[in-house]
Each structure stands twice: as structure tokens, then as C-alpha cells.
Amino acid sequence: RKEVEQDPGPFNVPEGATVAFNCTYSNSASQSFFWYRQDCRKEPKLLMSVYSSGNEDGRFTAQLNRASQYISLLIRDSKLSDSATYLCVVNSNYQLIWGAGTKLIIKP
């Protein structure tokens, strides 16, 4: 089992829809969690840190479920510009472990 797993997608979603990503991790002692966005042929950019209490930034909501060992990212009212690959990152034993990413394609 991979340390961090994501659905590879791609997710093809109509504009305006809500889309959810899940990311599972294997190390229960993992300490911190992040979502990054990566556009094609570009570097990853931090989207959100994920806090235990859950956090929201505009149309984006991130949640952490320690009991089930997963983090989620919800995008509401999706825009064409949301099309990208979304990567989850888990700090596990002082190493940053990257998921393989989920590709999102927003269709007009």
C-alpha cells in the first residue's frame, strides 16, 4: 500500500459543479497535511494547509479525518480555471510524502 494515495482521475466535471477529492495516508502519526495545485508543466503551488478543525478559503474547503486517515478537498461552484492536478502532501516521520495527484478537467 502506498503511503499516500489519491484517485488518479481524471475527473471531468461541468462548470459550476461541486467536486471532491480524497487522499488517504497510511501513517497514523502523520503530522501535517497540505493540498497543492499543479498546472501542466508548471511547479506546484500551495492551495491550502489542512487543519484538524477543517478550514475554508472561498470556494475551497479542506478537511482532515484522523480516525479514517484521510484528507479531503471540496471545490464548490467550479470554474474553468480550476482545471489542474491536485496533489495532497502528508508530513510523515518528518518526510513530506506526495500523492500522485488527481487531474481535474472542468468542462464549459
Partner 1 sequence: GAVVSQHPSRVICKSGTSVKIECRSLDFQATTMFWYRQFPKQSLMLMATSNEGSKATYEQGVEKDKFLINHASLTLSTLTVTSAHPEDSSFYICSASGVSSYNSPLHFGNGTRLTVT
Q: Does 34 bind partner 1 (CB under 8 A)?
A: yes
- What are φ and ψ of residue 11, in 5° steps? -95, 120
Distance, CA of 96 to CA of 30 (rounded, Å): 10
Tell me which of 32, 52, 77, 105 binds partner 1, using CB under 8 A: 32
The one-character DSSP state at 80 is G
- What are φ and ψ of residue 60, in 5° steps? -105, 135
Stretch that binds partner 1, among 14-22, 64-72, 76-84, 93-101 (CB under 8 A): 93-101
CB of 12 to partner 1, least distance (A): 17
Question: Given its phi and psi angles, is residue 52 left (phi above 0), alpha (psi -120 to 50 degrees) or beta?
Answer: alpha
CB of 68 to partner 1, least distance (A): 22
Tell me which of 99, 104, 105, 106 binds partner 1, using CB under 8 A: 99
Q: Does 45 bind partner 1 (CB under 8 A)?
A: yes
Nearer to partner 1, 4 or 75 (CB): 4
Q: Which of 86, 92, 78, 65 is nearest to 21 (CA)?
A: 86
Give the footprint of partner 1 on this chain (CB under 8 A). Answer: 31-32, 34, 41-46, 49, 87, 91, 94-96, 98-101
